[in-house]
Homo-oligomer: A and B are copies of this chain.
């Protein structure tokens, strides 16, 4: 079976069709919403046959989960790639990612919050992917706050999660240019130096 041949290992090198499908789905789901984009459009813009699509993803929901899991991996990698700094600088850098994302012209809010608005079953695979993302983000903030000496890192972390969610909505719906100053002001008031 030549399974030991590492130069053509299919697991380490994602196949073109799957990659194109996921890229196209990511672009369309994020820009237009999930229910608003059909499989026919995704396969047409990806240049993939329908049977090929269904050989890679058993159903549309599997594609949605793959889309969210990839966004989650990208976010975690970006945070992991941040230079090691004191906890407060790390928190500032992590929250700062909201303003840089919001400045992009095609910003349309948080992919996870948008998906949660469309998927109402709390035990569905889509919602579980969203839960995993939120739990990871809360944990990152909590650990940094604990290292910073916050007396109640769980509470402060939840407040920073709420602030992050809300600033993403402000960047999407109100004015993204106001976000950098709001991050600074919000952190200054929510972090307990008092």
Residues of A bordering B, CB below 8 Å: 31-33, 35-36, 108-109, 113-118, 120, 130-131, 134, 138, 155-156, 158-159, 161-167, 169-170, 172-174, 178, 181-182, 185-186, 189-190, 192, 194
Chain B min CB distance to A177 (Å): 12
A189 CA / B156 CA spacing, docked (Å) = 10
Q: List 30 A-B contacts (CB under 8 A).
A: A32-B120, A33-B35, A33-B118, A33-B120, A35-B35, A35-B118, A108-B120, A113-B113, A113-B169, A114-B117, A117-B117, A117-B118, A118-B118, A134-B173, A134-B174, A138-B174, A155-B182, A155-B185, A158-B170, A159-B163, A161-B166, A161-B170, A162-B162, A162-B165, A164-B166, A165-B169, A165-B170, A189-B189, A189-B190, A194-B194
In the complex, which residue of chain B has the Cβ closest to the Cβ of A36? Answer: B35
* Assembly stoichiometry (copies): 2
Chain B hits for A108, CB < 8 A: 120
